[in-house]
A and B are shown apart, each in its own frame.
Chain A
Amino acid sequence: MCGIVGLFLKDKALEPQLGALLTDMLITMTDRGPDSAGIAIYGNTAEGRSKLTVQSDEGDAVFGDLAEKLGAAIGAGVGLTRKDSHAVLDLPADKLSEARAALATVAPGVRVMSSGETLEIYKEVGLPRDVAARFEVSKMQGSHGIGHTRMATESAVTTMGAHPFNTGPDQCLVHNGSLSNHNALRRKLRRDGVHIETQNDTEVGAAYLTWKMQQGATLGEALEGALKDLDGFFTFVVGTEDGFGVVRDPIACKPAVMAETDQYVAFGSEYRALVNLPGIEDARVWEPEPATVYFWKH
Protein backbone atom coordinates (compact mmCIF):
# COMPACT_ATOMS: atom_id res chain seq x y z
CA MET A 1 0.00 0.00 0.00
CA CYS A 2 2.26 2.81 1.35
CA GLY A 3 1.09 6.12 2.73
CA ILE A 4 2.21 9.48 1.46
CA VAL A 5 1.75 12.96 2.82
CA GLY A 6 2.81 16.44 1.80
CA LEU A 7 2.39 19.96 3.08
CA PHE A 8 3.21 23.13 1.15
CA LEU A 9 2.84 26.25 3.27
CA LYS A 10 1.66 29.53 1.80
CA ASP A 11 1.44 31.26 5.18
CA LYS A 12 4.86 31.90 6.72
CA ALA A 13 3.26 32.01 10.16
CA LEU A 14 2.84 28.23 9.97
CA GLU A 15 6.51 27.53 9.14
CA PRO A 16 7.56 26.85 12.77
CA GLN A 17 4.89 24.12 12.87
CA LEU A 18 5.80 22.36 9.62
CA GLY A 19 7.64 19.45 11.25
CA ALA A 20 4.93 18.92 13.86
CA LEU A 21 2.12 18.98 11.30
CA LEU A 22 3.94 16.59 8.96
CA THR A 23 4.82 14.23 11.80
CA ASP A 24 1.18 13.97 12.77
CA MET A 25 0.18 13.29 9.16
CA LEU A 26 2.90 10.66 8.84
CA ILE A 27 1.99 8.78 12.01
CA THR A 28 -1.67 8.67 10.94
CA MET A 29 -0.57 6.80 7.79
CA THR A 30 1.29 4.08 9.77
CA ASP A 31 -1.16 1.32 8.93
CA ARG A 32 -0.61 1.95 5.22
CA GLY A 33 3.11 1.30 5.65
CA PRO A 34 4.84 0.17 8.86
CA ASP A 35 8.11 -1.03 7.26
CA SER A 36 9.97 2.24 7.12
CA ALA A 37 9.33 5.95 7.13
CA GLY A 38 10.96 9.07 5.84
CA ILE A 39 10.47 12.76 5.70
CA ALA A 40 11.90 15.54 3.56
CA ILE A 41 11.89 19.07 4.91
CA TYR A 42 12.71 22.24 3.01
CA GLY A 43 14.12 24.45 5.75
CA ASN A 44 16.28 27.48 6.04
CA THR A 45 19.85 27.77 4.92
CA ALA A 46 22.54 30.43 4.94
CA GLU A 47 23.34 32.33 1.75
CA GLY A 48 25.89 30.51 -0.37
CA ARG A 49 25.77 27.34 1.73
CA SER A 50 24.42 23.90 0.87
CA LYS A 51 23.65 20.75 2.81
CA LEU A 52 24.45 17.07 2.50
CA THR A 53 22.33 14.89 4.74
CA VAL A 54 24.17 11.63 5.35
CA GLN A 55 23.41 8.40 7.22
CA SER A 56 25.63 5.91 8.98
CA ASP A 57 24.97 3.04 11.37
CA GLU A 58 28.42 3.60 12.94
CA GLY A 59 27.50 6.77 14.87
CA ASP A 60 30.36 8.86 16.29
CA ALA A 61 32.95 6.43 14.96
CA VAL A 62 32.18 7.98 11.60
CA PHE A 63 30.55 11.31 12.42
CA GLY A 64 33.14 12.29 15.08
CA ASP A 65 35.72 13.69 12.70
CA LEU A 66 33.77 13.65 9.43
CA ALA A 67 33.50 17.44 9.16
CA GLU A 68 37.27 17.91 9.55
CA LYS A 69 38.12 15.13 7.12
CA LEU A 70 35.66 16.31 4.50
CA GLY A 71 36.71 19.93 5.01
CA ALA A 72 40.34 18.99 4.42
CA ALA A 73 39.41 17.02 1.30
CA ILE A 74 37.54 19.90 -0.33
CA GLY A 75 39.55 22.75 1.16
CA ALA A 76 36.65 24.53 2.83
CA GLY A 77 34.94 24.84 6.18
CA VAL A 78 32.36 22.11 6.81
CA GLY A 79 29.87 22.11 9.65
CA LEU A 80 28.18 18.98 11.02
CA THR A 81 24.95 18.65 12.95
CA ARG A 82 24.26 15.12 14.13
CA LYS A 83 20.76 13.70 14.50
CA ASP A 84 20.70 10.04 15.56
CA SER A 85 21.86 7.95 12.57
CA HIS A 86 21.91 11.01 10.30
CA ALA A 87 24.08 14.10 10.11
CA VAL A 88 23.66 17.30 8.14
CA LEU A 89 26.90 18.57 6.62
CA ASP A 90 26.90 22.29 5.97
CA LEU A 91 29.33 23.49 3.29
CA PRO A 92 29.86 26.11 0.57
CA ALA A 93 27.28 25.72 -2.18
CA ASP A 94 29.90 25.61 -4.92
CA LYS A 95 31.61 22.65 -3.22
CA LEU A 96 28.51 20.44 -3.08
CA SER A 97 29.30 18.00 -5.88
CA GLU A 98 32.99 17.94 -4.95
CA ALA A 99 32.07 17.09 -1.36
CA ARG A 100 29.72 14.34 -2.44
CA ALA A 101 32.47 12.78 -4.55
CA ALA A 102 35.01 13.15 -1.73
CA LEU A 103 32.70 11.37 0.74
CA ALA A 104 33.26 8.11 -1.10
CA THR A 105 36.92 8.10 -0.09
CA VAL A 106 36.77 10.04 3.20
CA ALA A 107 33.94 7.94 4.66
CA PRO A 108 33.07 5.07 2.32
CA GLY A 109 30.34 3.60 4.55
CA VAL A 110 28.33 6.81 4.72
CA ARG A 111 25.16 6.98 2.66
CA VAL A 112 23.87 10.21 1.18
CA MET A 113 20.19 10.85 1.95
CA SER A 114 19.90 14.23 0.27
CA SER A 115 21.80 17.15 -1.15
CA GLY A 116 20.73 20.69 -1.85
CA GLU A 117 20.49 24.19 -0.45
CA THR A 118 17.42 23.73 1.70
CA LEU A 119 16.46 20.04 1.58
CA GLU A 120 17.10 17.59 4.43
CA ILE A 121 15.88 13.98 4.27
CA TYR A 122 15.61 11.68 7.28
CA LYS A 123 14.59 8.07 6.72
CA GLU A 124 14.97 4.75 8.49
CA VAL A 125 13.46 1.32 8.88
CA GLY A 126 10.83 1.19 11.61
CA LEU A 127 7.46 2.58 12.59
CA PRO A 128 6.77 6.17 11.52
CA ARG A 129 6.30 7.28 15.13
CA ASP A 130 9.73 5.93 16.09
CA VAL A 131 11.46 7.29 13.00
CA ALA A 132 9.97 10.77 13.50
CA ALA A 133 10.97 10.72 17.19
CA ARG A 134 14.58 9.66 16.46
CA PHE A 135 15.09 12.71 14.26
CA GLU A 136 12.91 15.09 16.29
CA VAL A 137 11.05 15.95 13.09
CA SER A 138 8.27 17.63 15.06
CA LYS A 139 10.70 20.40 16.08
CA MET A 140 11.73 21.19 12.52
CA GLN A 141 10.75 24.34 10.67
CA GLY A 142 10.38 24.84 6.97
CA SER A 143 8.36 26.03 4.02
CA HIS A 144 7.24 22.64 2.70
CA GLY A 145 7.87 18.95 3.11
CA ILE A 146 6.79 15.46 2.10
CA GLY A 147 6.72 12.14 3.93
CA HIS A 148 6.24 8.44 3.32
CA THR A 149 5.29 5.30 5.22
CA ARG A 150 6.43 2.22 3.34
CA MET A 151 4.83 -1.16 2.80
CA ALA A 152 7.56 -2.66 0.66
CA THR A 153 6.60 -4.10 -2.72
CA GLU A 154 9.81 -3.43 -4.67
CA SER A 155 13.27 -4.02 -3.20
CA ALA A 156 14.42 -4.67 0.36
CA VAL A 157 13.27 -3.06 3.59
CA THR A 158 16.41 -1.02 4.24
CA THR A 159 17.32 2.58 4.94
CA MET A 160 18.23 3.05 1.30
CA GLY A 161 14.93 1.52 0.19
CA ALA A 162 12.92 4.00 2.27
CA HIS A 163 11.41 7.10 0.70
CA PRO A 164 11.76 10.03 0.00
CA PHE A 165 14.32 9.66 -2.80
CA ASN A 166 16.60 12.53 -3.69
CA THR A 167 18.20 12.33 -7.14
CA GLY A 168 19.04 15.94 -7.88
CA PRO A 169 19.79 19.07 -5.84
CA ASP A 170 16.78 19.93 -3.66
CA GLN A 171 14.57 17.44 -5.54
CA CYS A 172 12.76 14.60 -3.83
CA LEU A 173 9.90 12.24 -4.44
CA VAL A 174 7.60 9.87 -2.54
CA HIS A 175 5.54 7.20 -4.27
CA ASN A 176 2.56 4.99 -3.61
CA GLY A 177 2.27 2.22 -6.19
CA SER A 178 4.64 0.12 -8.24
CA LEU A 179 6.38 0.79 -11.53
CA SER A 180 6.60 -2.07 -13.99
CA ASN A 181 9.23 -0.72 -16.39
CA HIS A 182 11.75 0.47 -13.81
CA ASN A 183 14.50 -2.01 -14.74
CA ALA A 184 14.59 -0.99 -18.38
CA LEU A 185 14.32 2.67 -17.50
CA ARG A 186 17.09 2.37 -14.89
CA ARG A 187 19.44 0.95 -17.54
CA LYS A 188 18.56 3.74 -19.96
CA LEU A 189 19.02 6.49 -17.36
CA ARG A 190 22.34 5.03 -16.18
CA ARG A 191 23.54 4.96 -19.78
CA ASP A 192 22.71 8.67 -19.87
CA GLY A 193 24.87 9.24 -16.80
CA VAL A 194 22.14 9.47 -14.14
CA HIS A 195 23.28 8.27 -10.70
CA ILE A 196 20.89 5.60 -9.35
CA GLU A 197 21.91 3.70 -6.22
CA THR A 198 19.25 1.09 -5.45
CA GLN A 199 17.05 -1.55 -7.06
CA ASN A 200 14.00 0.39 -5.90
CA ASP A 201 11.39 1.39 -8.50
CA THR A 202 10.70 4.73 -6.86
CA GLU A 203 14.30 5.87 -7.16
CA VAL A 204 13.95 5.35 -10.92
CA GLY A 205 10.84 7.55 -10.92
CA ALA A 206 12.73 10.24 -9.02
CA ALA A 207 15.78 9.93 -11.27
CA TYR A 208 13.57 10.16 -14.35
CA LEU A 209 12.21 13.53 -13.21
CA THR A 210 15.72 14.79 -12.42
CA TRP A 211 16.90 13.67 -15.85
CA LYS A 212 14.01 15.49 -17.56
CA MET A 213 14.73 18.66 -15.61
CA GLN A 214 18.45 18.44 -16.44
CA GLN A 215 17.33 18.54 -20.06
CA GLY A 216 15.52 21.79 -19.42
CA ALA A 217 12.02 20.64 -18.53
CA THR A 218 10.15 22.37 -15.73
CA LEU A 219 8.92 20.11 -12.94
CA GLY A 220 5.45 20.33 -14.48
CA GLU A 221 6.80 19.21 -17.86
CA ALA A 222 8.82 16.44 -16.22
CA LEU A 223 5.67 15.17 -14.50
CA GLU A 224 3.82 15.25 -17.85
CA GLY A 225 6.67 13.18 -19.26
CA ALA A 226 6.31 10.67 -16.42
CA LEU A 227 2.72 10.03 -17.48
CA LYS A 228 4.02 8.98 -20.89
CA ASP A 229 7.22 7.13 -20.00
CA LEU A 230 6.45 5.35 -16.72
CA ASP A 231 4.42 2.14 -16.72
CA GLY A 232 2.60 0.93 -13.66
CA PHE A 233 0.62 2.41 -10.84
CA PHE A 234 1.77 5.57 -9.19
CA THR A 235 0.75 8.48 -7.12
CA PHE A 236 3.77 10.79 -6.84
CA VAL A 237 4.27 13.72 -4.54
CA VAL A 238 7.40 15.69 -5.36
CA GLY A 239 9.28 18.57 -3.86
CA THR A 240 11.70 21.10 -5.33
CA GLU A 241 13.47 24.01 -3.69
CA ASP A 242 10.39 26.20 -4.07
CA GLY A 243 7.73 23.87 -5.47
CA PHE A 244 5.37 21.04 -4.67
CA GLY A 245 3.76 18.73 -7.24
CA VAL A 246 1.33 15.83 -7.42
CA VAL A 247 0.56 13.42 -10.24
CA ARG A 248 -1.40 10.14 -10.50
CA ASP A 249 -1.20 7.60 -13.31
CA PRO A 250 -4.15 7.37 -15.76
CA ILE A 251 -5.67 4.32 -14.03
CA ALA A 252 -5.45 6.04 -10.63
CA CYS A 253 -5.93 2.99 -8.41
CA LYS A 254 -3.88 4.51 -5.62
CA PRO A 255 -5.81 6.81 -3.31
CA ALA A 256 -5.16 10.52 -2.99
CA VAL A 257 -6.85 13.43 -1.28
CA MET A 258 -5.86 17.07 -1.43
CA ALA A 259 -6.87 20.10 0.59
CA GLU A 260 -6.20 23.77 -0.01
CA THR A 261 -6.74 26.83 2.17
CA ASP A 262 -5.24 30.32 2.17
CA GLN A 263 -2.54 28.93 4.46
CA TYR A 264 -1.46 25.71 2.74
CA VAL A 265 -1.83 22.94 0.17
CA ALA A 266 -1.88 19.47 1.72
CA PHE A 267 -1.76 15.96 0.32
CA GLY A 268 -2.67 12.67 1.99
CA SER A 269 -3.23 9.11 0.82
CA GLU A 270 -6.36 9.29 2.93
CA TYR A 271 -8.45 12.09 4.36
CA ARG A 272 -7.55 10.83 7.85
CA ALA A 273 -4.05 12.25 7.38
CA LEU A 274 -5.45 15.76 6.97
CA VAL A 275 -7.95 15.99 9.83
CA ASN A 276 -5.64 17.75 12.31
CA LEU A 277 -4.53 20.51 9.93
CA PRO A 278 -5.64 24.01 10.95
CA GLY A 279 -8.82 25.13 9.21
CA ILE A 280 -9.38 21.78 7.47
CA GLU A 281 -13.13 22.09 8.13
CA ASP A 282 -13.28 25.01 5.69
CA ALA A 283 -10.63 23.78 3.22
CA ARG A 284 -11.38 22.94 -0.39
CA VAL A 285 -10.95 19.16 -0.37
CA TRP A 286 -10.78 17.16 -3.59
CA GLU A 287 -9.45 14.02 -5.18
CA PRO A 288 -6.77 14.74 -7.81
CA GLU A 289 -7.81 13.63 -11.29
CA PRO A 290 -5.98 10.79 -13.03
CA ALA A 291 -3.19 11.75 -15.45
CA THR A 292 -3.34 15.36 -14.32
CA VAL A 293 -0.36 17.34 -13.06
CA TYR A 294 -0.89 19.59 -10.05
CA PHE A 295 1.89 21.99 -9.10
CA TRP A 296 2.38 24.88 -6.69
CA LYS A 297 5.34 27.24 -6.43
CA HIS A 298 6.43 29.82 -3.87
Chain B
Amino acid sequence: MQTFDLAAEGLRKLNETLHAQAGSTNQTLWEVVNPRGSHAIAVGLDAPIEVTVKGSTGYYCAGMNKQATVHVQGSAGPGVAENMMSGTVVVEGDASQYAGATGRGGTLIIKGNASSRCGISMKGIDIIVHGNIGHMSAFMAQSGNLVVCGDAGEALGDSLYEARLFVRGSVKSLGADCIEKEMRPEHLTLLAELLERGGCDARPEEFKRYGSARQLYTFKPDNAY
Protein backbone atom coordinates (compact mmCIF):
# COMPACT_ATOMS: atom_id res chain seq x y z
CA MET B 1 0.00 0.00 0.00
CA GLN B 2 1.38 3.39 -1.07
CA THR B 3 0.12 6.42 0.85
CA PHE B 4 -0.02 9.85 -0.74
CA ASP B 5 -0.62 12.91 1.46
CA LEU B 6 -2.46 15.38 -0.75
CA ALA B 7 -2.08 18.22 1.77
CA ALA B 8 1.71 17.81 1.78
CA GLU B 9 2.46 17.07 -1.86
CA GLY B 10 -0.33 18.66 -3.86
CA LEU B 11 -2.68 17.71 -6.66
CA ARG B 12 -0.29 17.87 -9.61
CA LYS B 13 2.14 15.49 -7.94
CA LEU B 14 -0.71 13.12 -7.05
CA ASN B 15 -2.01 12.84 -10.57
CA GLU B 16 1.50 12.64 -12.06
CA THR B 17 2.32 9.82 -9.67
CA LEU B 18 -0.86 7.90 -10.46
CA HIS B 19 -0.45 8.44 -14.22
CA ALA B 20 3.09 7.05 -13.97
CA GLN B 21 1.62 3.70 -12.88
CA ALA B 22 0.36 3.02 -16.41
CA GLY B 23 1.69 -0.20 -17.90
CA SER B 24 2.87 -2.97 -15.63
CA THR B 25 3.17 -1.41 -12.20
CA ASN B 26 3.58 -3.56 -9.14
CA GLN B 27 2.30 -0.75 -6.96
CA THR B 28 -1.37 -1.48 -7.36
CA LEU B 29 -2.73 -0.20 -4.04
CA TRP B 30 -2.81 3.52 -3.34
CA GLU B 31 -4.27 5.55 -0.53
CA VAL B 32 -4.84 9.32 -0.75
CA VAL B 33 -5.09 11.06 2.60
CA ASN B 34 -6.23 14.64 3.35
CA PRO B 35 -8.39 15.14 0.25
CA ARG B 36 -10.29 17.93 2.10
CA GLY B 37 -12.74 18.45 -0.74
CA SER B 38 -10.01 19.11 -3.36
CA HIS B 39 -10.88 19.10 -7.04
CA ALA B 40 -9.73 16.72 -9.79
CA ILE B 41 -8.40 13.98 -7.51
CA ALA B 42 -7.28 10.86 -9.42
CA VAL B 43 -8.38 12.05 -12.85
CA GLY B 44 -7.26 10.50 -16.11
CA LEU B 45 -6.00 7.24 -14.61
CA ASP B 46 -5.12 4.48 -17.09
CA ALA B 47 -3.80 1.50 -15.15
CA PRO B 48 -5.35 -1.43 -13.25
CA ILE B 49 -4.66 0.13 -9.86
CA GLU B 50 -6.84 0.64 -6.80
CA VAL B 51 -6.96 4.12 -5.29
CA THR B 52 -8.72 4.77 -1.99
CA VAL B 53 -9.46 8.40 -1.15
CA LYS B 54 -9.79 8.80 2.61
CA GLY B 55 -12.42 11.53 2.82
CA SER B 56 -14.63 13.76 0.70
CA THR B 57 -13.68 15.17 -2.69
CA GLY B 58 -14.53 18.28 -4.72
CA TYR B 59 -15.26 18.57 -8.43
CA TYR B 60 -14.47 15.89 -11.05
CA CYS B 61 -12.97 13.15 -8.89
CA ALA B 62 -11.93 10.12 -10.99
CA GLY B 63 -12.91 11.80 -14.24
CA MET B 64 -11.95 10.11 -17.54
CA ASN B 65 -11.03 6.96 -15.64
CA LYS B 66 -9.73 3.90 -17.50
CA GLN B 67 -9.11 0.53 -15.83
CA ALA B 68 -8.59 1.87 -12.30
CA THR B 69 -10.78 1.34 -9.25
CA VAL B 70 -11.26 4.55 -7.28
CA HIS B 71 -12.93 4.32 -3.89
CA VAL B 72 -14.07 7.56 -2.23
CA GLN B 73 -14.52 7.04 1.52
CA GLY B 74 -16.66 10.15 1.86
CA SER B 75 -18.88 12.20 -0.41
CA ALA B 76 -18.02 13.40 -3.90
CA GLY B 77 -18.55 16.88 -5.36
CA PRO B 78 -19.97 17.70 -8.80
CA GLY B 79 -18.96 15.60 -11.80
CA VAL B 80 -17.58 12.48 -10.10
CA ALA B 81 -16.46 9.88 -12.68
CA GLU B 82 -17.39 12.21 -15.51
CA ASN B 83 -16.63 10.69 -18.92
CA MET B 84 -15.36 7.43 -17.42
CA MET B 85 -14.20 4.91 -20.06
CA SER B 86 -13.74 1.77 -17.95
CA GLY B 87 -12.93 0.65 -14.43
CA THR B 88 -14.94 1.25 -11.27
CA VAL B 89 -15.64 4.23 -9.06
CA VAL B 90 -17.29 3.74 -5.67
CA VAL B 91 -18.57 6.63 -3.54
CA GLU B 92 -19.40 5.68 0.04
CA GLY B 93 -21.33 8.88 0.77
CA ASP B 94 -23.41 11.14 -1.47
CA ALA B 95 -22.54 12.40 -4.92
CA SER B 96 -23.29 15.93 -6.10
CA GLN B 97 -24.55 17.07 -9.51
CA TYR B 98 -23.90 15.23 -12.81
CA ALA B 99 -22.33 12.09 -11.37
CA GLY B 100 -21.14 9.81 -14.16
CA ALA B 101 -22.04 12.35 -16.87
CA THR B 102 -21.13 11.33 -20.44
CA GLY B 103 -19.54 8.11 -19.15
CA ARG B 104 -18.71 5.64 -21.91
CA GLY B 105 -18.00 2.54 -19.85
CA GLY B 106 -17.13 1.14 -16.46
CA THR B 107 -19.23 1.17 -13.30
CA LEU B 108 -20.05 4.00 -10.92
CA ILE B 109 -21.49 2.92 -7.57
CA ILE B 110 -22.93 5.57 -5.23
CA LYS B 111 -23.86 4.22 -1.82
CA GLY B 112 -25.62 7.39 -0.66
CA ASN B 113 -27.80 9.69 -2.74
CA ALA B 114 -26.92 11.32 -6.03
CA SER B 115 -28.00 14.87 -6.82
CA SER B 116 -29.45 16.36 -10.00
CA ARG B 117 -28.41 15.33 -13.52
CA CYS B 118 -27.00 11.96 -12.49
CA GLY B 119 -25.90 10.15 -15.64
CA ILE B 120 -26.68 13.06 -17.93
CA SER B 121 -25.74 12.12 -21.50
CA MET B 122 -24.40 8.74 -20.36
CA LYS B 123 -22.99 6.75 -23.25
CA GLY B 124 -22.37 3.23 -21.99
CA ILE B 125 -21.50 3.59 -18.31
CA ASP B 126 -23.39 1.61 -15.65
CA ILE B 127 -24.44 3.76 -12.69
CA ILE B 128 -25.80 2.09 -9.56
CA VAL B 129 -27.20 4.35 -6.82
CA HIS B 130 -28.22 2.90 -3.46
CA GLY B 131 -30.20 6.01 -2.48
CA ASN B 132 -32.15 8.64 -4.43
CA ILE B 133 -31.28 10.71 -7.49
CA GLY B 134 -32.21 14.32 -8.29
CA HIS B 135 -33.95 16.03 -11.18
CA MET B 136 -33.04 15.75 -14.88
CA SER B 137 -31.15 12.52 -14.37
CA ALA B 138 -30.21 10.53 -17.48
CA PHE B 139 -31.11 13.53 -19.66
CA MET B 140 -30.21 12.61 -23.26
CA ALA B 141 -28.71 9.33 -22.06
CA GLN B 142 -27.58 7.27 -25.03
CA SER B 143 -26.60 3.87 -23.68
CA GLY B 144 -25.71 2.05 -20.48
CA ASN B 145 -27.74 1.36 -17.36
CA LEU B 146 -28.87 3.55 -14.49
CA VAL B 147 -30.05 1.65 -11.41
CA VAL B 148 -31.70 3.59 -8.58
CA CYS B 149 -32.67 1.77 -5.39
CA GLY B 150 -34.41 4.85 -3.98
CA ASP B 151 -36.53 7.55 -5.64
CA ALA B 152 -35.94 9.65 -8.76
CA GLY B 153 -36.56 13.40 -9.06
CA GLU B 154 -38.34 15.37 -11.77
CA ALA B 155 -37.96 14.79 -15.51
CA LEU B 156 -36.23 11.43 -15.36
CA GLY B 157 -34.79 10.38 -18.72
CA ASP B 158 -35.76 13.51 -20.62
CA SER B 159 -35.00 13.11 -24.37
CA LEU B 160 -33.61 9.67 -23.73
CA TYR B 161 -32.07 7.55 -26.50
CA GLU B 162 -31.21 3.92 -25.73
CA ALA B 163 -30.15 3.77 -22.09
CA ARG B 164 -32.06 1.55 -19.62
CA LEU B 165 -33.26 3.10 -16.36
CA PHE B 166 -34.29 0.92 -13.40
CA VAL B 167 -35.93 2.62 -10.40
CA ARG B 168 -37.17 0.86 -7.29
CA GLY B 169 -38.87 3.81 -5.58
CA SER B 170 -41.07 6.61 -6.84
CA VAL B 171 -40.38 8.76 -9.89
CA LYS B 172 -41.48 12.37 -9.41
CA SER B 173 -42.02 12.83 -13.14
CA LEU B 174 -40.81 11.45 -16.45
CA GLY B 175 -39.08 13.73 -18.94
CA ALA B 176 -40.07 14.13 -22.57
CA ASP B 177 -40.27 10.82 -24.45
CA CYS B 178 -39.38 8.72 -21.39
CA ILE B 179 -41.90 5.97 -20.60
CA GLU B 180 -42.26 3.00 -18.30
CA LYS B 181 -41.48 -0.25 -20.12
CA GLU B 182 -42.16 -3.88 -19.38
CA MET B 183 -39.57 -5.80 -17.39
CA ARG B 184 -38.76 -8.82 -19.53
CA PRO B 185 -36.71 -11.83 -18.32
CA GLU B 186 -33.53 -10.51 -19.94
CA HIS B 187 -33.93 -7.25 -18.00
CA LEU B 188 -34.36 -9.10 -14.71
CA THR B 189 -31.19 -11.04 -15.47
CA LEU B 190 -29.29 -7.88 -16.36
CA LEU B 191 -30.58 -6.03 -13.29
CA ALA B 192 -29.67 -8.94 -10.99
CA GLU B 193 -26.10 -8.74 -12.27
CA LEU B 194 -26.00 -4.94 -11.81
CA LEU B 195 -27.41 -5.13 -8.27
CA GLU B 196 -24.84 -7.74 -7.34
CA ARG B 197 -22.05 -5.66 -8.87
CA GLY B 198 -23.25 -2.64 -6.91
CA GLY B 199 -23.55 -4.53 -3.63
CA CYS B 200 -27.23 -3.59 -3.38
CA ASP B 201 -29.60 -5.35 -1.04
CA ALA B 202 -32.56 -5.32 -3.45
CA ARG B 203 -34.40 -7.77 -5.69
CA PRO B 204 -34.83 -7.11 -9.43
CA GLU B 205 -38.58 -7.72 -9.17
CA GLU B 206 -38.95 -4.62 -7.01
CA PHE B 207 -37.87 -2.28 -9.84
CA LYS B 208 -39.63 -0.66 -12.76
CA ARG B 209 -37.90 -0.13 -16.07
CA TYR B 210 -38.00 3.16 -17.98
CA GLY B 211 -36.76 3.87 -21.47
CA SER B 212 -37.24 5.90 -24.61
CA ALA B 213 -40.59 5.90 -26.43
CA ARG B 214 -38.59 6.85 -29.55
CA GLN B 215 -41.16 9.42 -30.57
CA LEU B 216 -39.07 12.58 -30.56
CA TYR B 217 -38.11 14.22 -33.84
CA THR B 218 -34.58 12.82 -33.51
CA PHE B 219 -36.03 9.35 -34.16
CA LYS B 220 -38.00 10.30 -37.31
CA PRO B 221 -36.42 9.34 -40.63
CA ASP B 222 -37.92 12.49 -42.13
CA ASN B 223 -35.55 14.52 -40.01
CA ALA B 224 -32.41 12.72 -41.22
CA TYR B 225 -29.94 14.64 -43.30
Contact = CB atoms under 8 A, between A and B. Distances in A.
Do these two chains interact?
A: yes
Interface of A: 252-253, 255, 257, 270-275, 285-287, 289-290
A255 B39 CA distance: 14
B114 to A, nearest CB: 10
B94 A272 contact: no
A106 B56 CA distance: 53
Contacts of A290: 116, 134-135
B135 A271 contact: no
> A270, A271, A290 — which one has the most chain B CB atoms within 10 A of its CB?
A271
Nearest to B95: A287
B135 A270 contact: no
B140 to A, nearest CB: 16
Contacts of A274: 37
B63 interface: no
29 contacts: A252-B97, A252-B135, A253-B97, A255-B77, A255-B78, A255-B96, A255-B97, A270-B37, A270-B58, A270-B59, A270-B77, A271-B37, A271-B56, A271-B58, A271-B77, A272-B36, A274-B37, A275-B36, A285-B56, A285-B75, A285-B93, A285-B94, A286-B94, A287-B94, A287-B96, A287-B115, A290-B116, A290-B134, A290-B135
Given A270-B37, A275-B37, A252 B116 contact: yes
Contacts of B96: 255, 257, 287
A289 B78 CA distance: 14
A253 B98 CA distance: 10
Nearest to B59: A270
B29 to A, nearest CB: 24
Given A255-B96, A285-B75, A272 B58 contact: yes
B151 to A, nearest CB: 12
A272 B36 CA distance: 6
Contact of A271 (B75, B115, B116): B75
Contacts of A285: 56, 75, 93-94
B38 interface: yes
Nearest to A31: B39
B101 to A, nearest CB: 13
B118 to A, nearest CB: 12
Interface string B112-131: 00011000000000000000
Nearest to B93: A285
Nearest to A287: B115
Nearest to B135: A290
A255 B56 CA distance: 15
Contacts of B58: 270-272
Given A252-B135, A255-B97, A290-B135, 12 more contacts: A252-B134, A253-B97, A255-B78, A271-B37, A272-B37, A272-B38, A272-B58, A275-B36, A285-B56, A286-B94, A287-B96, A290-B134
A287 B112 CA distance: 12
A285 B55 CA distance: 13
A178 B142 CA distance: 31
Nearest to A268: B37
A270, A273, A274, A289 — most chain B CB neighbours (10 Å): A270
A272 B134 CA distance: 22
Among A272, A285, A286, A289, the most chain B Cβ lie within 10 Å of the Cβ of A272
A272 to B, nearest CB: 4
Contacts of B77: 255, 270-271
A271 B135 CA distance: 21
B36 to A, nearest CB: 4
Contacts of B56: 271, 285
B99 to A, nearest CB: 12
Contacts of B37: 270-275
A43 to B, nearest CB: 29
Nearest to A275: B36
A151 B119 CA distance: 29
Q: Which 10 residue pairs of A and B lie closest in terms of their CB atoms, listed nearest first?
A: A272-B37, A271-B37, A275-B36, A287-B115, A271-B56, A275-B37, A272-B58, A270-B58, A252-B116, A287-B96
